[in-house]
Amino acid sequence: MTKKILCVIAVTIMSLGICFGCADNAPLPYNAMVVDGGIVADKIDMIPQIGCFTDEFWKENTIGGLLYKNKNWDPNDAESEEYIYDKISPQVRMHTVTNQEEYYRVFSEPMEIDFEKEMILIHIWREDDKSITKIKDIKVENEKLILEFSSKNSDSCAQPNYMCCYTVFKMDKLEVTSLAFYLNGNNWSAMFGEGSSWSDYYL
């Protein structure tokens, strides 16, 4: 069942132009490989029941620039809003998981990993369905782990739809003190922070 779900996720991601692997099809450094990935559409009604994250982790990692269901919505109140635009949460989040205790807090499904030699890198971000995105590189500079993506817009003139995307990498265990995300050479690190979340608006 798990393999079937992951296959469906992979097909969905590829159909939206999000490609895993280096932009030139070369292997990723540090033996990094994508072990999970998925998409959560805009207007999120509930904690997403896809992928392998715990409900607690999803609540802590809402993504800015998306619509979330207002748990206090009153359909009988004309001024009550069913969905609320998240202006608080960062649009990019990154995490590393380096031990078993962290793993059980973040993941709801088992994964074969040796934390003596390996770690997990999680990348969650806001994406639009008109972009063609590829992983360009993973590197370490001055104890900072840098994840680089390249992206270009498709030829479609239609209004883009925004969604929450996530990628889970398993890779060699590295001694790093900070994380950074670069898109087309631009540092997006300022767009993610610690702890800010709109989890109170989740159902």
pLDDT tens sequence across 48-60: 555 688 888 888 8
In the three-class reduction of DSSP (H, G, I as helix; E, B as strand; rest coil), residue 138 is classed as strand
pLDDT tens sequence across 3-49: 333 333 333 443 344 554 444 567 899 999 999 888 876 666 655 55
The pLDDT value given to residue 15: 38
The pLDDT value given to residue 128: 74
Strand-pair partners of 37: 167
Kindly state the tokens that stand for 117. Answer: 């030699």
Contact status, residue 71 vs residue 201, Cβ threshold 8 Å: yes
Measured distance CA(93)–CA(165) in Å, rounded: 10
| Stretches in the chain below the pLDDT threshold 70 | 1-25, 41-51, 129-131, 154-160, 189-203
The pLDDT value given to residue 70: 85
**Whose CA is closest to 120, among 132, 105, 130?**
105
Neighbouring CB atoms inside 10 A of 177's CB total: 8
Which residues touch 60 (CB under 8 Å, ≥6 apart)? 195, 197, 199
If phi over 0 gives left and psi between -120 and 50 gives alpha, with beta otherwise, what is residue 169? beta
H or E stretch including 61? none
The pLDDT value given to residue 87: 87
Provide the residue range defining the domain that includes 118: 2-201
Measured distance CA(93)–CA(73) in Å, rounded: 27
The pLDDT value given to residue 64: 87
Measured distance CA(163)–CA(156) in Å, rounded: 17
**Whose CA is closest to 85, among 133, 131, 126?**
126
Contact status, residue 125 vs residue 160, Cβ threshold 8 Å: no
Neighbouring CB atoms inside 10 A of 141's CB total: 9
Residue 76, classified by CB atoms within 10 Å of its CB into exposed (0-12), middle (13-18) or buried (19+), is exposed
Contact status, residue 39 vs residue 16, Cβ threshold 8 Å: yes
Please state, rounded to an integer, the average pLDDT across all residues of the chain.
Answer: 77
Quick one: how far is CA 17 from the chain centroid?
15
Domain count along the chain: 1
